[in-house]
Amino acid sequence: MRHVDLKKIQKRLPKGWSETAAAANKAIKDLEKEARKKAINKSQKWQELRKPLGNFLDGKCWYCESRLKRSLTPIDHYRPKNNISEVPDHGGYWWLAYSWSNYRFACSHCNMYGTAKSRGVAGGKADHFPLWDESKRAKGPRPSPDVPDPIDSEQPLILDPTLEADPGLLWFNPDGTVIPHPVICSDQKGYFHKRATESIRILGLAQDELKERRGRHCEKILECLAEADDLLVKSNVGDATAGNVLHRRIRELKEAFEVMAEYSAATRATLMAQRGTSKAVDLVLGA
Ligand SMILES: [Zn+2]
């Protein structure tokens, strides 16, 4: 998971989106619960934002960083629009159904529930939205601009890629395993540890196939880094050819670390773990 800057997303919204969203919201706001759910599911207005949201990370899922090939439902409502699994009688955050800042571009594995039989590890966000303190759950829209928005009192457990400090709560081992950040989440009873473990569980980030993909990716990163270290030694004694190849390897490693690259958070963790062992890694992370 890498940070997605909502301010940059806002600049990419299509012309007329705010009018579309306002009209869609007006059409549902006075409906009864069941009629409202039907109207929201039928409208699918958020599909109009597939391109700007998807293009932002070059088609990567904002949660697991897998590149989406094709998907019918690539937009997740971070706060679920119709139901909340943890509170069956809640009725969902219907007032955020057409709020662009509630949308997260997501692969079907992260967005939709799948069983252990179909995925190796059961997971998928679906209607899950657990909170640290259930008593703080928002029950409806902000009554007026003069009072605080009730959602600002919530402490969600699912990590949010649009918040600067959230993606860093996950850490990756070189075999592709995802774990809570060993230092930041070291208090096993704390909010951060709970958020990381619940996100791994609910989003299915420990799923076998995903772990193997990340593991193969990290293996390539380590091979490239080992080659860069070898080239560094040769370049230091005047081997110009080695020096030229070294530049290319450092560039490749930097590209794998960039926010658009698939599994770039795993790349970052793999590289950071090599500090003190590899010299070349400082050339990648340093500038
Ligand atoms: Zn995903």
pLDDT in tens for each of the 287 residues of the chain? 999 999 999 999 999 999 999 999 999 999 999 999 999 999 999 999 999 999 999 999 999 999 987 666 789 999 999 999 999 999 999 999 999 999 999 998 898 876 666 666 666 888 999 999 999 999 999 999 999 999 999 999 999 999 999 999 999 999 999 999 999 999 999 999 999 999 999 999 999 999 999 999 999 999 999 999 999 999 999 999 999 999 999 999 999 999 999 999 999 999 999 999 999 999 999 86
Rounded distance from Cα 32 to ligand 1 centre (Å) = 33
Q: How many C-beta neighbours within 10 Å does residue 18 have?
A: 12
Q: How many C-beta neighbours within 10 Å does residue 48 have?
A: 16
Angle (CA) 45-51-52 rounded to 5° is 95
- Of 261, 255, 263, 265, the C-alpha closest to 169 is 265
pLDDT at 141: 94
> CB-based contacts of 260: which residues, under 8 Å, 6+ apart?
57, 58, 60
pLDDT at 120: 63
pLDDT at 112: 81
Rounded distance from Cα 107 to ligand 1 centre (Å) = 4
End-to-end CA distance of the chain: 22
pLDDT at 239: 95
pLDDT at 196: 98
Rounded distance from Cα 58 to ligand 1 centre (Å) = 14
Q: Where are the chain's structural domains?
A: 6-173+184-206, 210-286
pLDDT at 118: 62
Rounded distance from Cα 109 to ligand 1 centre (Å) = 6
Rounded distance from Cα 110 to ligand 1 centre (Å) = 4
Alpha carbon distances (Å) from 18 to 59, 146, 152: 24, 22, 22
The number of C-alpha atoms within 13 Å of 28 and in the hemisphere containing its C-beta is: 27
Contact 107, 113 (CB under 8 A): no
Rounded distance from Cα 112 to ligand 1 centre (Å) = 10
pTM value > 0.85 = yes
Rounded distance from Cα 13 to ligand 1 centre (Å) = 22
Rounded distance from Cα 117 to ligand 1 centre (Å) = 18
**Partners of 178 in the β-ladder:** 172
Rounded distance from Cα 280 to ligand 1 centre (Å) = 31
Rounded distance from Cα 210 to ligand 1 centre (Å) = 9
pLDDT at 125: 86
Contact 124, 113 (CB under 8 A): yes
Rounded distance from Cα 173 to ligand 1 centre (Å) = 18
Rounded distance from Cα 197 to ligand 1 centre (Å) = 16
Element (H, E) at 76: strand 75-77
pLDDT at 69: 75
How far is C-alpha 13 from the geometric centre of its chain's CA atoms? 20
